Amino acid sequence: MSEGELNKQLLYSKLVKYATSEYDDEDSYSSKRAWNIVRIPFRNLARGTVSLPLGGFIFCVLWAMYTDLDAATYTHCGVKNYLPSLSAAMGGFQVSQIIWRICIALHAAPRFMVTGMYYRYLKSIILGRHIVWVVLACVLNVLENMGLIGLTYVSSKENYRIHEKCFIIFMVSSELYMLIMCALLYGSRNIPATTMETKSLKVKWGLVVLNLVSFALAGYAFVRHNTYCEEGMYTIFAFLEYLVVLTNMGFHMTAYWDFYDRILTIDLFNLTSLCSSSSAVLPYYSRIR
Measured distance CA(92)–CA(97) in Å, rounded:
7
Distance CA 286, CA 275 (A): 9
Distances (CA, A) of 219 to 186, 211, 234, 237: 29, 12, 11, 8
Residue 280 has pLDDT above 80, yes or no: no
Give the pLDDT band (50/70/90) at residue 9: low
Mean pLDDT over residues 140-159, rounded?
91
Structural domain boundaries in the chain: 46-258
Tell me the torsion sign for CA atoms 190, 196, 202, 205: negative
pLDDT digits (tens, 9 = 90+) for 163-218: 889 999 999 999 999 999 999 999 999 999 999 999 999 999 999 999 999 999 99
Burial 151-164 (b: 16+ CB within 10 A, else e): bbbbbeeeeeeebe
Range 86-109 average pLDDT = 91
Rounded Cα gap, residues 88 and 61, in angstroms: 9
Residue 287, pLDDT above cutoff 60: no
Of the candidate ranges 39-53, 74-88, 124-138, the one whose mean pLDDT is the lowest: 74-88
Mean pLDDT lowest among 19-28, 162-171, 204-213, 237-246: 19-28
Cα 240 from Cα 255, distance rounded (Å):
24
* Residues 115-131: tens digit of each pLDDT: 999 999 999 999 989 99
Q: In what order do the strands lie in the sheet with 270-276?
A: 37-41, 263-267, 270-276
Question: Within its chain, how far is the Cα of 141 from the centroid?
Answer: 10
